[in-house]
Amino acid sequence: MSPSKPKTLPLSINPTQKRMARAQFGALCYRVEEGAVQILLITSRRTKRWIVPKGWPEDGLTPAQSAANEAREEAGVTGKVKQRPIGVYSYEKHVENADTLPCIVTLYALKVKKQSDSYPEQAERQRQWFSGEEAAGLVAEPELARLIKAFVP
């Protein structure tokens, strides 16, 4: 008697499940103050959750440059971004009509050199520096929290 093959179930996917995960690039903005690493978090525009700056790929920019540009627009910071990602995490982006969009964020470390008082999204977001442990406890995404806890510049 031959071993039985695993059953293949018919695939039934409704149109809202057909959405592929979308790629985004994010910046883990950090500084070192008196020997301690601090992480910059910002609030999301709609729900005011603590997050890192992130966004869609931008034409003509590398992934790391896209992440640095998001940090400038959303948090008002500039600095030196590492070209090699420190990791990836996933989350569900809430969009219009109470729908969600699965996203995968590739995260790049950005050592902050300058923090501006005026930046494109300052009226829509708050920003605040935290210890790594505090920042990890404030973000909702477990994978992002693990990346923050493990981060060593």
Pairing mode of beta strands 77-81, 54-55? unpaired
Q: What is the pLDDT of residues 95-110, one digit of tens each?
A: 776 678 889 999 999 9
Q: Which of 40-49, 56-65, 71-80, 94-103 shows the lowest mean pLDDT across its residues?
A: 94-103
Q: Are 25 and 109 in contact (CB under 8 A)?
A: no
Q: What is the pLDDT of residues 117-147, one digit of tens each?
A: 999 999 999 999 999 999 999 999 999 999 9
Which pLDDT belongs to residue 127?
A: 97
CATH class for the domain made up of 20-150: alpha beta
Both tokens of residue 3? 């071993």
Segments making up each domain of the chain, as ranges: 20-150
Look at 123 and 14; give whichever has higher pLDDT: 123
Type and span of the H or E element at 136: helix 132-138
pLDDT value at 90 more than 60: yes
C-alpha separations of 47 from 44, 66, 116, 139, 145 in Å: 6, 23, 24, 12, 18
Three-state DSSP at 99 gives strand
Which pLDDT belongs to residue 141?
A: 95
